[in-house]
Amino acid sequence: MNKILVGLKRVVDANVRIQVKTDGSGVVTDGVKMAINPFDEIALEEALRIKDKGHATEIVVVGIGPDDVQQQLRTGLAMGADRAILVRADAAVEPLAAARILLKLVERESPSIVLLGKQGIDDDNNQTGQMLAALWDRPQATFASKVELADGVARVTREVDAGLETLDVDLPAVITTDLRLNEPRFVKLPDIMKAKKKPLDTLALDDLGVDATPQFSVLKFAPPASRTKGVLVKDVAGLVSVLRQKGVL
């Protein structure tokens, strides 16, 4: 049995313009469109392709959060995942806690690969995969733009600041996805119907014995400093002259 575990985080849709609440207690999420974290869609797509090539037999999607996360898990099932697990957590879960929860599931499911996004586009943490790999004492290949599997090894090309880097990691391993890894498929209506019959188990934090109490406290949310309104110039001559005035040329 070669299983792949995929993390699906529920986040505010990437196209939403985020507004900070006036009292600084958070961002406005009421009535805002929610979606699967885009990097996690890429992770699931990659898992499906690995299964199509015969390197995996089962794909399990995992979401940690409130009941609403079921929506994203159902979408994941409609994309083609075989089974879903919801780990119920009503308060915000920090990456270390998410990694500890995922470790418990790894111990239960013994996957050969855990595929996660490189970052959640809400908190922009970019931590969970690396933390899980540390706790599990297994390799990590972050920011993947290509994954090839052979003989218990994943050859992963990574997008790093200086260019591309290729690693061989022994399986099992944690792989986190970058944007160029693939283009996720669209969900078709019949698949949404089929997904309703696929198994979705719900676990409580207590079932897993994980304490998810946050270590950090967020004191305040503020909007970013805004830039002052600029000028429009008519032509290239105008552009060059304003650049000179500003002393940047």
Ligand X SMILES: Nc1ncnc2c1ncn2[C@@H]1O[C@H](COP(=O)(O)O)[C@@H](O)[C@H]1O
Ligand Y SMILES: Cc1cc2nc3c(=O)[nH]c(=O)nc-3n(C[C@H](O)[C@H](O)[C@H](O)COP(=O)(O)OP(=O)(O)OC[C@H]3O[C@@H](n4cnc5c(N)ncnc54)[C@H](O)[C@@H]3O)c2cc1C
Binding site for ligand X (CB under 6 A): 7-9, 37, 39-40, 43, 62-65, 93, 95, 98, 116-117, 119-120, 123, 125-129
Instruction: Tell me whether strands 10-12 and 34-36 are parallel, antiparallel or unpaired.
Output: antiparallel
Closest approach, Cβ 218 to ligand X, in A, equals 14
Closest approach, Cβ 98 to ligand X, in A, equals 4
Q: Does 38 bind ligand Y (CB under 6 A)?
A: yes
Q: Which is nearer to other proteins, 32 or 193 (by Cβ)? A: 32
Residue with CB nearest ligand X? Answer: 117
Question: CA 160, CA 157: separation in Å to the nearest integer?
Answer: 9
Buried b (16+ CB within 10 A) or exposed e, 156-180: bbbbeeeeeeebebebbbbbbbbee
Closest approach, Cβ 247 to other proteins, in A, equals 9
Q: Which is nearer to ligand Y, 38 or 65 (by Cβ)? A: 38
C-alpha distances out from residue 182 to 40, 43, 80, 173, 186, Å: 11, 9, 15, 19, 13
Closest approach, Cβ 121 to ligand Y, in A, equals 5
Which one of ligand X, ligand Y, other proteins, none interacts with residue 107, CB within 5 to 8 A by kind?
none
Closest approach, Cβ 80 to ligand X, in A, equals 17
For tokens 């996360």, name the residue: 69
Closest approach, Cβ 68 to ligand X, in A, equals 12
CA atoms within 13 A on the CB side of 99: 22
Q: Which is nearer to other proteins, 199 or 223 (by Cβ)? A: 223
Which one of ligand Y, ligand X, other proteins, none interacts with residue 71, CB within 5 to 8 A by kind?
none
Do the Cβ atoms of 156 and 126 come closer than 8 Å? no
Do the Cβ atoms of 138 and 106 come closer than 8 Å? no
Which one of ligand Y, ligand X, other proteins, none interacts with residue 12, CB within 5 to 8 A by kind?
other proteins
**Cα separation of the two ends of the chain:** 63
For tokens 């944007």, name the residue: 179
Binders of ligand Y among residues 107 to 146 (CB under 6 A) are 121
Q: Which is nearer to ligand X, 78 or 120 (by Cβ)? A: 120
Which residues make up the interface to ligand Y (CB under 6 A)?
14, 38, 121
